C-alpha cells in the first residue's frame, strides 16, 4: 500500500521524502560509494506515480547520477517510456544510455517496495563518444 506524507506513523525524514515525491512524482536517493562497492542513485515513486519501473544508476559522480535519474524522471513524466534493452542518446551528450532489468536479489540496499523484478531498470552508459557503442549485455545485473 502506498505511503503518504500525511500518514501519522512517519518520522520527519520519511515525511520529507514523501512530500518531495508527492510534489514531483518521484524522489532520487543517492548512496555514496565505499570500499564495499560503487555509489548509486535510484528513483522512488516512478512506478507508483507513472506505472514505470524505478531507475537505478551506479558508479558515476553523485551529482551526475542524481541529475541523470531526475532527468529520466522528467522524461517519464512527459510520457516517454523506457524498456529493458532500450537505448537513448537523449540523456547525456555524447553517450548512449542502455536500460537493463535489475535482479532485485543483487540490490539488497533498495527499499522493499522497489524489489519486484519488473519494476527496476538500470541505466548503463556507453563511455565511448564515437558512434560505436559499448556492448554491455554481458554485464551481470
Q: What are the tens digits of pLDDT across the range 46-70? A: 888 898 888 888 888 899 999 999 9
Q: pTM of whole model > 0.85?
A: no
The answer to whether the CB of 114 falls within 8 A of the CB of 120 is: yes
Q: Is the pLDDT of residue 141 over 80?
A: no
Structure letter (DSSP) for residue 23: H
What contacts 12, CB < 8 A, 6 or more positions away?
none
pLDDT tens-digit map of 79-119: 999 988 888 888 888 888 888 887 665 555 555 544 444 45
- Among the listed residues 141, 102, 138, 99, the one whose alpha carbon sits nearest the alpha carbon of residue 120: 102
Amino acid at each position: 500500500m502506498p505511503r503518504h506524507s500525511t500518514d501519522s506513523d512517519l518520522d520527519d525524514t520519511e515525511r520529507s521524502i514523501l512530500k518531495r515525491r508527492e510534489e514531483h512524482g518521484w524522489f532520487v536517493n543517492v548512496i555514496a560509494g565505499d570500499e564495499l562497492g560503487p555509489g548509486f542513485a535510484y528513483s522512488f515513486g516512478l512506478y507508483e506515480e507513472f506505472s514505470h519501473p524505478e531507475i537505478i544508476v551506479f558508479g558515476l559522480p553523485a551529482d551526475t547520477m542524481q541529475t541523470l535519474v531526475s532527468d529520466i524522471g522528467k522524461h517519464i513524466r512527459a510520457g516517454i517510456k523506457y524498456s529493458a534493452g532500450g537505448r537513448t542518446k537523449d540523456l547525456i551528450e555524447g553517450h548512449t544510455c542502455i536500460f537493463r532489468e535489475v535482479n532485485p536479489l543483487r540490490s539488497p540496499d533498495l527499499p522493499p517496495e522497489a524489489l519486484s523484478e519488473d519494476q527496476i531498470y538500470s541505466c548503463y552508459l556507453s563511455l565511448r563518444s564515437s558512434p560505436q557503442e559499448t556492448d554491455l549485455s554481458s554485464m551481470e545485473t
